[in-house]
Every structure is written in C-alpha cells, then in structure tokens.
A and B are shown apart, each in its own frame.
Chain A
Amino acid sequence: MTTPMLTVEGLRKTFSAGTGRAEDGVHAIDDVSFDVQPGELLTLLGPSGCGKSTTLRAIAGLEHPDSGRISIGDRTVFHADSGTRLGPDERGLSMVFQSYAIWPHMNVFDNVAFPLQVVPRRQRRPRQEIRDRVERVLRTVELGGLGSRPATKLSGGQQQRLALARALVTDPDLLLLDEPLSNLDAKLRESMRLELKRIQRSLGVTSIYVTHDQGEALALSSRIAVMDKGRIMQLGTPREIYEAPTCEFVAQFIGTSNVLPATVGAVEGDLAELSTEVGPISSRSWSDLTVGQDVLVIIRPEDISLRSPDGEGAAHWRGKVVAGAYLGEAIDYVVTVDGRELRCRSGPSESGRIDTEVDLDIDPSRVHVLRSEGASR
C-alpha cells in the first residue's frame, strides 16, 4: 500500500462549555484516527454534533485540535506535541463549504480564479493560463460560458458547481467537502450526487466528504467512517457498514433496522439459534457466540418477507399488519408480533391489508447478530 494521502491520529478537541462558541451543544472530537488512500473518497457520516465537521475543519486548519497529528501526504500539517500548526492557506487543500461560501462581490470567473490569483507572485501562473484553467474547470462542472455572471445570480445547483469548480481549479491533492449537497432540493441533490461521483472518479482526487445523509454516503464513498459523540464507531466500505454493522448505533443510523434483544440458544455449524421476545430466530451472520449469551438481533425491513398465513411452509413469526405506507418503489409496513412493532418493506406488487394477519419469513443469512455491548471494534 502506498503512503496514505491523509493520516489523522489521535485527534481530540473539547470546547469548554460556556464560551459561547459551540452553538448547539458541545462539538467535540475524541481520539479520532483514520487514514485516506490516494483517490479514495472517505465519508465522515453521523448525526449533527457528532464531530464530523469539527474533524473536517481540523484537517482544513480552520480548527485547532487539543491533541493529535494530521499529515497530508508525508507532510505533517498539525502536531499538537511539537506545536506544528500550519494555517489553512499553507496546507494546499481545497474545500467545498456547506453554504458554498461563494463570494457575493465577485463574478463566477473571479470566484474560481481566486485560488490561482492569491498564490505568491513567484509561483503565480500567467494570466492566460489562469484564464484557460478556470474555463476548463468551469466546463468540467458544466458552467462553461458563465464566467462573467455575478455569482449571486446563479441558481442553487449552479452555486454548488461553482464552489466545486473553485475547489478543483488548483488540482488539489485533497478535497474536503462539508455537506455540499445539503442546501439543494431532493431532486437536484440526487443528480448532483451522481455528478459529484463522476467528477471525483474522473479526476481521481482524494476526497473527504462530510454528511449526515446515509444515502449520499452509501452512494459516493469508497469508505465510510460513522461517527457519534466525537468517536468513529465503524469504518468500512459502504457494503460492510450497511450489511455488517458492528454496533447498534451504526445499525440504527444506517438505514432502518429492527433491533431485538436475544439470547443465544444453540450454535450448530454456521447456524445460530436465538430466542427473542417475539419468538425464535436463526442466524447465519455472526461470530464469536457462546450459548446463553445476550445479543442483539438486527434485521433490515427489506429482509423480512410477508405472506398470507394460508400459504405453505412454516413461518418464523406470525404478526398483524397495523400500518402500511406506499412509497412507490416499495411499501413499508408496520407489523406487530406479540405486541412488538417490526418494520417490514416489500415490493409494491405485494400487498398486505391493514388488520390482517401475516406470516413473516426471514432468511437466516440476513439476520445479523451483535454482541449486546455493541461497542466499536
């Protein structure tokens, strides 16, 4: 493996309460470490206040952590112990802000050209080259020909692209994106997400992406770091995160999960038999279980299939449909089994009527078992 593009080690930051700086609660990061390989897009995912933005701002140099080390390539840009603290202007990275931070007093061209214009005179590119590069990057983000337009006259999506263009114009080693899509409406967000992925892939720019939107994270990321309360709860590929959450928080935060406390009844080969408060269930997705252990069973709604009770074969559980919501591509049901509500999702062609009894089938290989403590790795 090559040298990581970014290494973050043991980052900590506490905002003492009462300084008035932390607007909603205490944004703290607590021993955060990870690295990012060249070309990778790593997403920091978590609820608001989990420390993901503080981490990103610490990487950018906009926030000074209390301890830890940050290296970009083989250059240490922050090291609390040695007192190394490079300013944001000395780190050679780019950032797309949540608010886009488009300078309203400049036109589109000047916004994009700014990073090229502020480099020290000796290293500054000739005027014509700056013009060409700006034009090229504007075309990349499909803003070609809009250079002379006032930045504030752009639509939301265009402003977003402009912010991206400004970040890309320097060919940065590292691109930081702080919830770049959160100010767009749903439709635009979807298409920008694909667009962003295309651009990131085609340029191969190493990126760190902060979001609270799990859909975005799953769609875009090479790897995802799920954060909560200043800590990384799980770091892995989207598939790992989604299919094999290592703790209850991740399971709950990514997608919708039915989480049931259970006790291990027996382990036979790769099949574990567990008893839950709504009945027994088998799982093929587990590790390190001992009989009698208290565990959590995690079942995704789409892994529960519903059928009429009069069908054949023995069902795992029998329940009653109490609510259903037609979502177009699927139907969400709430089914009570022994008084406990489970979320189930089925294709739109299937139907279960409210107040009817249904049988619930669950593939044991889709039943994920966590140790009850649910700590991170």
Chain B
Amino acid sequence: MPERKGATVHVRRHRSSRPAILLAVLSLVLTACGVSPSVAAWEVPSGPSNAEQVYAHFDSMPANERLPALVRAAQAEGSLTVNLRADLVAPELERAFEDQYGIDLQIVNPGTARITRQQILQEARAGKVRSDVIESYVHEMDTIYAESHVITHLPRFLRESALDPSLTTEFSAETFQYPFLVAWNTQRVAAAEAPRRFEDLLNPRWANRLVMVQNYEMWYKALFDRLTGDGMSVEEFERVFRHIAADSNVTSSSNPASAFLASGQYTAGININLNSITRIDGAPIAFEPVVGAVPLLPNGIGLARDAHHPAAALLFAHWYLTDGVPILQEEQFIQQSPNETRLDGAPVVRPELDDLDSARLQEWREAYDALLRGGDEVLPAYVRGGTP
C-alpha cells in the first residue's frame, strides 16, 4: 500500500493494541491445549452409546415380539437417514418403505465407496454422523469401523436375516453384489475382435487403450483367488496383470471409466462395475461374452453407533435385507446366492473374506496400488511366499 503523506490525524500511540494481540495469541494457544490436531480427534468410545443400548434391547427380545415392538418404536421416531450404495433404486426404496411403515426415509448417496468413506469420515470428524444406516462394500465397512468407529457391531438377529450369512461380518450384513467385468466399446472393437480371456488383452492393439479403476483391491484378490485356483500359476497371473496394468490408464471409479469407454477414449475397461455401464443410456459398450471370471463384490449394511433413530435404523436394516430384496433385484444385479446369476454362463467369483484380516486387506490394497503404479510388489507377500 502506498504510504499517504500528511495524515495529521492523531499520531498518538495505541499501547492497547499490543497487549490485545498478545492476548489473542495466548488464548489461541490455551484453547488449543491438547493433543496435536493431526492425531485423530475422536476417541475409541468407552461404554455403549444410546443407540447401541437400543440395538441390544431389541436383539435380546424374543423373535415374535421383536418386529411389532420395533415398528412401534421406529414409528415413534418418525424418520431416518440412510447412506446407501443402491442409488439407482433409491426412489423406489423410499416409496416402498414409507408406504409400508409410514416412516419418513431419506436416502443419501454420495457416490463411490471411497467418497462414502470420506464423507462419513468428515461427518465423524465434525462429530455429527447424520446417517442412521450405512451401506458400502463389506470390506469397506470394516475400514469405516477401523477409521472412525461410526458403525457398531451388528445385532445377531440382523446377521441371521441376511440371505448368505457367510458374507456377513462383524459390522455388516451382505445386501447385494456388484459384478466387475471386462467391457469394451463396440464402435472400436468388432464382435470378432472382442477379448475372450485376460491373456487376449496382452495383444499390442490394446496398448494404452485400456482403463482400470483405482481401489479395486477386492476385485484383484477375488480374481487372483479364482484364476490361480483354476490352475494359473502365480507367476503367470503376475505377468498377465502387470502387462495389462502397464497398458492401462487409471480412473478413480467405474463411472468415469464407463464414460470414457462410451466416448471411445478408452477401448476396453478391465474392471468395470456393471452398474456403471447400465446407467449410461445407449452407450456403445458390450461385456458379453464375459471375459475370464466375474468377481462379485458384496455390499453390506451396518448401523451407526450414534444413530439418532436407532429403532428406525434397525427396522430399515431388517426390511432392506428381507422385503427390500425384490426392489434391489430390479436394478442392482443382485447376487443373493452364489448359485443365481444374471450373467448367463459366466463363472462368478466371490471374494473369500474369511482369510482377510485388516492387515491382509491393507497388503492387497498396497499390492493393487503397486500394480497400477507399475511398482514392484504387485502381490501381497503372503501369496507370493506360498509359491516359490
């Protein structure tokens, strides 16, 4: 700022301003007393929350009394907010649930699983988790618990409501599955040239024309389990997928990958969520005959630890796992049982979650990340070590 000359107005010193500044700094420091802000701000809760007590209360009820009591309590709460991945049928779900129970249901859907997690993390940081019920990939649900403790252990009766209890974890019950498959642009790839096996994608004509999606370590693990189970050697698997990854561009989720496929920017996608393809009307994308095996990634539903509407949350979760199933099956490529498939003739794979603790999950995460980045350790040490 240019200095003005001749400001004859008071040049008296204001001693009051300096202590005031000091005071402000001091007060800042004082209010800031505590742990460094880069260390997680929330603590692992001690003792059950209000909502957890409600969950436990209904869980311990006799089965025949539970539902009527739950409906009454939920209707008393009047409304709830749920964070669902099943965005395509959200309006139908809302309508059906409201019609059945007269409870105001609001479904929020932030987008990809990763964004769901970020958003819940944000909410947790703000100390106000808005959702009473949260749905994401089953393995993500574990992460969400580990990261923010916003969800809680699932009541036993809910776990038993799930169609396939084997895909139910401590924090979530499986709801439906997304198939991940190889898809290609039909304007760029004639039917005769379409890939049949992953090995076909090593052909130089695909170089730099492929797209892979980030954070799909579960797809990677499921495929690894399936292909090596079918007799492919670990070395061969590593060779094939290193090559494919080297020829691939990377996107953050299936939706943009599908958009790029539809536009022809990429010719084929390696791990595209079928849900992303079907949502683009008239997109020139094909995925049949299906390449290799199709990993199905299960989504699961969990309850918020600090739900504002705990009874309604319980009621919705139960409803979603039972009465909601037909609605889900309309659009979401539901795979409630390993035996049913809408992808006729395609071998489907479900990731084995049993051998996955959070450390191994993290190893797969890092391995898949390394694969996309062209790093060295493209498989977790524990599977590589198994085949010298």
A–B: direct contact at CB < 8 Å: no
Residues of A within 8 A of B (CB): none
Residues of B within 8 A of A (CB): none
